[in-house]
Amino acid sequence: MKNKNFYNQKNIAFYLAIMLYSTFAFSQNQKTKIYLVGDSTMCLYDDSRFPQAGWGMPFANFFDATTVEIENHAKGGRSTKSFLDENRWQPIVDSLKAGDYVLIQFGHNDSANSKSHPNRYASPEDYKKYMGKYITETREKNAKIILITPVTQRKYNANGALIKSHEAYCDAVLELGVEYHVPVIDLNTKSHELVEQMGEKFSRNLYMVFEPNELPRFPDGFNDNTHFNEFGARKIAEIVLRDIRAQKLELANYIVKPKSSK
């Protein structure tokens, strides 16, 4: 009798464990997923690249991890074309489910010199074609896509005026928003305004721009006016988040205040 009770207890414990695991797995699968698709201005960086950061890194901190899971698939040096050619998009499509989100920002590498980077370059016309594919395939999975114009660079002309970067690609994104009736975050315009408001002197604090010996990592200084440091990435992420709320997109319902780091 003792042995029988012992085995019954073991069976009950076993089935309880199975039920708990199944419940956990189900809850994980039920999370809304946000897929970030883009280039080096959005992607993840490890500690060896500190203080460089893509805006997708702080962006993730503004969502409740118990209900939302963010997958940052952005990769440096990628364009609408190369992201497809390298089969980085198809695995995302395969895992998309109804209610998920895709936030997509390309343009920096699409506009790369066609001779130096033929694997990256996409004309504005081809860019629209590729973006149309991302939109269509996202919708086929009943997921939602948000288009984002390429974030601005900090480059000035001879008169000291901030240059409007990637205009043809920004126009293409805005046109796609109208054609496909999908939301567009005009990050290019809003980040351009931020840099202008801060001025040439102080806007350097957004980017990977450092004087000699300002950081041990860059004893000779560093002058990258495309990629962001942690502060800049946070400011860009805040622009995206504010616009999601301003447009009253459903994704705004998932935004929370980030927990303060200790």
**DSSP state letters, 18-83:** HHHHHHHHHHHHHSEEEEEEE-TTTS---GGGTTEE-THHHHGGGB-TTTEEEEE---TT--HHHH
In whole angstroms, how far apart are CA 216 and each of 8, 60, 66, 222, 231?
Answer: 64, 28, 38, 11, 18
Q: How far apart are CA 38 and CA 79, in angstroms?
A: 7
- Among 73, 166, 192, 227, the one annotated catalytic: 227
Can 227 be counted among the known catalytic residues? yes
Torsion of the alpha carbons at 176, 179, 185 and 191, rounded to the nearest 10: 50
In whole angstroms, give the CA distance from residue 173 to residue 186: 9
Structure tokens at 261: 């780091």
Check 40, 79, 191, 203 and give the catalytic one: 40
Q: If we measure between CA atoms, which residue out of 85, 86, 87, 72 comes closest to residue 38? A: 72
Which residue among the candidates 179, 193, 196, 211 is catalytic per the annotation?
A: 211
Residue indicated by tokens 């950081």: 215
Q: Which residues are catalytic?
A: 40, 211, 227
